[in-house]
Amino acid sequence: MFRRIVPAVLAFGLVASMPVSAAEPVTKVSEQVNEKMVKIFGSGGFKGVVNYTTGILISPDGFILTVASQTLDTSELIIHMYDGRKMKAVVVVTEPVLDIALLKIKVDGKKIDEPSGLDLPYFNYAESLKRPIAEAGDWVLGFSNQFEIATRNEPMSVQQGTISSYAKLHGRRGIFDFPYTGNVYVVDAITNNPGAGGGALTDRKGQLLGIIGREIKNTLSETWINYAIPLNAKVETKDGDKPKIVSFPEFVSLGMQFKYKPVDRPVVVLTAGGFHGMRFVPNILERTPPYVDELYPNSPASKLVQVNDLVSFIDGEPIYSIKSFNDYMRKTRPGMTIRLEVRRGDNLQTIELKLEEWPKGLLPTVPLPKNPDPPK
- Phi first, then psi, for residue 209 (nearest 5°) are -110, -35
SS3 category, 109: coil
Note whether 49 and 174 are same-domain residues. yes
Note whether 146 and 239 are same-domain residues. yes
Note whether 287 and 215 are same-domain residues. no
**What is the reported pTM?**
0.71
**Cβ contact 165:188 at 8 Å:** no
Is 6 inside a domain boundary?
no
CATH number for the domain including 153?
2.40.10.120
User: Per-residue pLDDT for 269 more than 60?
Assistant: no
Note whether 211 and 275 are same-domain residues. no
d(CA 36, CA 75): 24
9-130-250 Cα angle (round to 5): 95
Q: What is the dihedral of CA 265, 268, 274, 277, to 10 degrees?
A: -100
Average pLDDT (146-164) is: 95
Domain range holding 321?
Answer: 266-376
User: Per-residue pLDDT for 4 more than 70?
Assistant: no
Tell me the residue length of the chain.
Answer: 376
Question: How confident is the model at residue 24, as a pLDDT?
Answer: 53
Average pLDDT (164-187) is: 84
Buried residues in 10-32 as b, exposed as e (16+ CB within 10 A): ebebbbeebeeeeeeebeebbee
User: Per-residue pLDDT for 374 more than 50?
Assistant: no
Is 235 inside a domain boundary?
yes
Note whether 217 and 274 are same-domain residues. no
Is 194 inside a domain boundary?
yes
CATH number for the domain including 289?
2.30.42.10
Question: How confident is the model at residue 258, as a pLDDT?
Answer: 97
Average pLDDT (285-312) is: 89
**Cβ contact 66:55 at 8 Å:** yes
Note whether 175 and 106 are same-domain residues. yes
Average pLDDT (334-351) is: 91
| Antiparallel, parallel or unpaired: β 317-318 and 337-344 | unpaired
Is 7 inside a domain boundary?
no
d(CA 197, CA 239): 26
What are the tens digits of pLDDT across the range 106-141? 999 999 999 999 999 999 999 999 999 999 999 999
